[in-house]
Amino acid sequence: MAAHMFEGFLEDKIDVGSATLFVRHCDGEAPVVLLHGHPRTSATWHRVAPMLKDHGFAVVCPDLRGYGRSSKPPTTSDHAPYSKRAMANDIATLMTTLGHNTFGVAGHDRGSYVALRLALDHPERVSALAVLDGVPISEALARCDATFAEAWWHWFFFAQPDKPERAINADPVAWYRPDRDRMGEENYAEWLAAVSDPRTVTAMLEDYRAGLGIDRDVEEADLAAGRTIASPVLLLWSTRDDLESLYGDPLAVWRGWATDLRGRGIDSGHHMAEEAPEQLAASLTEFFR
């Protein structure tokens, strides 16, 4: 019989205040929370999380608010319910509920922005921060040029009212064009169920709408105040994605945010947890141990 995803993990829905998070988690000695990106769910970690579990980590894999099987709170005109601060507070409360006072956090893509906010807003909780395929939103927008706009036009399209919902909901599979084989059947099925729900699509877009407004403002305020990340930071980027072509040395972008910084490229496309799980798990194990 074929093994299913997340063997040995528990599944729960946990009330964190203004949202309820679907979460997979296991017991272990050192807690680590893994935060997925757009348009994935916690299932994206299905190859990496068991490897970390085997190394003794207490691994926590939530669906971010609005994504997957987590709740979709009503939004507001400033999109604050989908701000990275709101999402980071969710994770802080989740980890408290699971009994983890301090923990490592790894975030991929949109999850990296939540991880950054968690490290800045809750420095006493985050022991180490791993950022996967991301730079701060404010840094990306400050460097926005024609090359960025051509490659990342979806950031600005997703921020528009109504139109992106119409485009995505018409045919989510055609819009996202996932690699079903690389994802794995169970991961793909969970992803398909999520993006086939118009409520989830709107909530995921609210994440982007918050990003161009309230999230950018909060990051710029951090920069102006000279706030930096207190914990060690590991930056990993996919060498077959576009972080190097956009920014040259991605570490240079992060040097103003972290005093203890290291990083390297991983031979992978964008979804490194699905495409290069062994390399990623080895890097995270070494960093969080």
Sign of the CA dihedral with 177 first, then 180, 184, and 185 last: positive
DSSP state of 258: B
The answer to whether residue 100 is catalytic is no
Residue owning tokens 């947890």 = 273
Note the maximum CA span of the chain. Answer: 56
Question: Which tens digit of pLDDT belongs to each residue from 216-254?
Answer: 999 999 999 999 999 999 999 999 999 999 999 999 999
Strands 261-266 and 233-238 come out as parallel
Whole-model pTM above 0.85? Answer: yes
Question: Which tens digit of pLDDT belongs to each residue from 90-140?
Answer: 999 999 999 999 999 999 999 999 999 999 999 999 999 999 999 999 999
Q: In the predicted model, what is the mean pLDDT of residues 38-42?
A: 98
Q: Which stretches of the chain are assigned E, i.e. beta strand?
A: 10-15, 20-25, 30-35, 57-62, 103-108, 126-132, 233-238, 261-266
pLDDT at position 4 over 90: no
The answer to whether residue 55 is catalytic is no
The domain made up of 10-288 is a member of CATH 3.30.479.10: no
The pLDDT of residue 3 is: 61
Domain edges within the chain: 10-288
CA 242, 188, 192, 202: dihedral to nearest 10 degrees? -40
- What is the distance between the alpha carbons of residues 239 and 61, in angstroms, rounded to a whole number? 25
Neighbours of 185 (CB within 10 A): 11
Sign of the CA dihedral with 57 first, then 125, 120, and 259 last: negative
- 27, 121, 197, 270: the catalytic one is 270
Give the mean pLDDT of the chain.
97
The pLDDT of residue 107 is: 98
pLDDT at position 2 over 90: no
Q: In the predicted model, what is the mean pLDDT of residues 147-156?
A: 94
- 90, 109, 133, 215: the catalytic one is 109
- pLDDT-derived band of residue 1, with 50, 70 and 90 as boundaries? very low
Q: Judging by beta carbons within 10 Å of its beta carbon (0-12, 13-18, 19+), is residue 225 exposed, middle or buried? A: exposed
